[in-house]
Amino acid sequence: MSKSRTNDSPPTVDMAKIVWASARYDFWLDLNSVPRRQRKALRSELRSNLTEAATDVGAQAALKNLGSVRTLAGEITRAGELRSRWLAGWVAAFLTVTVLMVTFLVLTLYYTEGVLDAGASEPVTSSLFPYFGSEVVVDPSGGGLAWIIGPGPMPLLAAIVVWLLVAKPWRSIGYRNFSYSGRISPRS
């Protein structure tokens, strides 16, 4: 028994495979710093080409003929100029500051434990390694515990360095609009 379809669209399972390939393609284009508007156009072009090929030869064969979407995204973006990865730089810088601040707070707690174990009764001031310029004051006097902490410039400087290494802002100097005028076609 064969089913007759009223439209020429592939079955739902094949469409899911095409949508998944399109999402992976968009991911690799994003990692190659293709702007959102161009990614959307390239993604819809790939989806329509795969849908058309899937109605002729099936989604499995169309995806096999296409090859790696990672390689395809790389080939597409090599035609454009290299751009900075601004968002990736900001995320990496934020994570760097967060990790360094949490580490500083953990080291402060260990330092406080050492001060309390030593039986100090007056305020104790020190700097924590490797946080140059940091200051930690632990005051166990007065029947309680008080802290004055300052991590110094290290978290901020580390975040700037990480941002520079990840974003590579020098790539955007002389940047012109990324454009691709061609048709995506499966490998022969």
Average pLDDT, the chain: 79
- Domain boundary residue, one of 21, 47, 79: 79
In-domain check, residue 164:
yes
With residues binned 3-state (H G I as helix, E B as strand, rest as coil), the percentages for the chain, rounded to 5, are 60, 5, 35
Q: And the tokens for 82?
A: 């290299």
Structural domain that includes position 72:
12-79
In-domain check, residue 179:
no
In-domain check, residue 1:
no
**Residue-level pLDDT at 4:** 44
For the segment 87-106, what is each residue's pLDDT rounded down to a tens digit?
A: 778 888 999 999 999 999 99
Cite the beta strand spans of the chain per DSSP E.
124-126, 135-139, 146-150
- Domain boundary residue, one of 79, 102, 118: 79
Same domain, 58 and 116: no
Under the banding of pLDDT at 50, 70 and 90, the label for residue 41 is confident
Q: How far is CA 146 from CA 63, 106, 118, in A?
A: 64, 16, 16
Nearest alpha-carbon partner for 76 in 168, 178, 169: 178
Number of structural domains found in the chain: 2
**Residue-level pLDDT at 5:** 47
> Higher pLDDT residue, 107 or 166?
107
